[in-house]
Amino acid sequence: MKFPEFGDTINFVGANACRPCLSRDWYPPEGNWAWAKRDGAEIIVPRPQSAQGRRVLVLDAGGFLSPAVPARTIAVEVNGRPLGEDRLDDKRNQAFFDGAPYRHEFPLPPDIPDTDGTWTVKVKTDPPDRPSNYGSADWRELGVALRSLSFE
């Protein structure tokens, strides 16, 4: 895989999906997203080429919300370096599952350690929940649903 440039998007679903990037604790992609199996799911991506000015990692992601978890926090770290948190809310979350983007932006510090030209992006969230707890036949523990990652 070539090193992404700032402005590139790495998709996890569709014909050009980078399925090997979803390295640990992801269910196979379904529809327009891939679900994290649990808190701390990992994505391995080539380190982006440097860019001047503002540098941001952007996740297009939603999450499983329920009566027990009506909102959810997404936290991201790269190679063990925390980047920050963002909140999932019900209105924008539903739009994500209807196909609209749901951008979560995390500023990238200039000194992220590099491991063999790759970055391990860890996506953390509140404890996953099972749709089967609310009458669905889906028994999986679901937290974050991811469509893409981009560098801007």
The CATH number of domain 9-151, selected from 3.40.50.1860, 1.10.3720.10, 2.60.120.260, 3.30.365.10: 2.60.120.260
pTM of the model: 0.86
Q: Tell me the pLDDT tens digit for each residue of 61-117.
A: 999 988 878 888 999 999 899 999 999 888 788 888 888 889 999 998 877 877 677
Q: Taking the C-alpha atoms of 21, 42, 60 and 29 in order, what is their torsion angle to the nearest 10 degrees?
A: 60
pLDDT at 56 over 80: yes
pLDDT at 141 over 70: yes
